[in-house]
Structure 1
Amino acid sequence: MDTAERLALPFVDAHTAEVAADAGTVWQTLGAALDRSFSGGRSTAVARLLGCADAAPSGPRPLVRGATVGGFRVTAADPGRELALLGRHRFSTYALVFRLEEAGEGRTRVRAETWARFPGPAGAVYRALVIGTGGHRVAVRRMLTSLEGRGEPRDRPRRRRT
């Protein structure tokens, strides 16, 4: 799946956080957050159970085009600016895109966008279980919160759903 295919996916949601760190630091922290969220025993087992095309992580450098991490393949990696993760399994084709932009001196705004298609009746059930229950929202916000905790604590980061 490439960028053109990602753009053909329907938009699901976006979550934004401000991090008290420069974009380079946030970029490095994002790699660690992805490892924590999508690599490891439980995540890899779930990815295999769902039949993810990219179930096995490719190593400790998930921010390199072509690398895989827990059900995703990195299809765009512009350090400090954008990271696009794409994947598919039995019930969905999906993308998670992180956009980083300066939010003032020493601060970075991180926007996590989800794009996905859930074909057929099984896809509809899967969407209800993942998106409808709020589980996806909780997981993305948890990942963004882990980024917030890595920067210098200047003030309480603002989170908003967009």
Structure 2
Amino acid sequence: MGDGSDVMEVLVEITALPRVDEHTTIVAAEAADVWRGLGETLDRSFTRPGSARYARLVGDTDRTASGPGPLAEGSTLHGFRVAEAVTGRKLVLVGGHRFSSFALVFRLDEAGPGRTRLCAETRAAFPGRAGGLYRGLVIGTGGHGLVVRRMLASARRRAEHR
């Protein structure tokens, strides 16, 4: 991202996307540990060969992993670009392909002494008939929710075992 106006444009575009779902978990760890656990989970989830194949198959805009890492603004993962990264507070991943434009927003909030609420909100648009079919396959089957809940659980385990 270049200047601040680029960031604002992306954030405005994200808020215009329809909300798909939101999943939350409470982690028995401080936000700094949850942030590291989230980064490790995303790195492991979105840099595997299978995620690269899927990114190519659906025509993802961001098909390669690059940059300093999953928690740094401007970095890319298979299928996502980091649009915003506020250490220990918020991570915004954006992406798009033939069937959808989407954002995955992670928020970390204090949930009591030594506890952090980790929330993942998905926003997406599925234009056209092909987009509607894709939504049915990914969202309608519950597959997307399962994947997001597994990511949150993995980040929680990593953070709690520090």
TM-score (norm 2): 0.91
Tell me, in whole angstroms, the C-alpha distance in 1 between the residues paired with 2:92 and 2:33. 18
1:48–1:55 contact (8 Å) kept in structure 2: yes
Structure 1 residue runs of 5 or longer lacking an equivalent are 154-162
Tell me, in whole angstroms, the C-alpha distance in 1 between the residues paired with 2:160 and 2:52. 32
- Which of the pair is proportionally richer in helix? 2
Q: Displacement, 1:59?
A: 4.9
Question: Which residue is equivalent to 1:29?
Answer: 37
Q: Displacement, 1:60?
A: 5.8
2:67–2:74 contact (8 Å) kept in structure 1: no
User: For residues 39-81 of structure 1, what are the alpha-carbon distances to aligned partners after superposition, in whole Å with 9 as ceiling and x for unaligned?
Assistant: 1100011011111001101156111111001100000100010
Which of 51, 55, 64 is residue 63 of structure 2 equivalent to?
A: 55
Structure 2 residue runs of 5 or longer lacking an equivalent are 1-8
Tell me, in whole angstroms, the C-alpha distance in 1 between the residues paired with 2:89 and 2:67. 22
Which of 116, 119, 125 is residue 117 of structure 1 equivalent to?
A: 125
Segments ≥4 residues shifted beyond 4 Å: none
Question: Which residue is equivalent to 2:149?
Answer: 141
Tell me, in whole angstroms, the C-alpha distance in 2 between the residues paired with 1:144 and 1:121. 31
Q: Displacement, 1:152?
A: 3.4
TM-score (norm 1): 0.91
Question: Which residue is equivalent to 2:4?
Answer: none
RMSD of equivalent CA atoms: 1.2
Residue identity matched to 1:44: A
Residue identity matched to 1:3: L
Tell me, in whole angstroms, the C-alpha distance in 1 between the residues paired with 2:101 and 2:36. 26
- Name the count of aligned residue pairs: 153
Residue identity matched to 1:22: E
Residue identity matched to 2:149: R
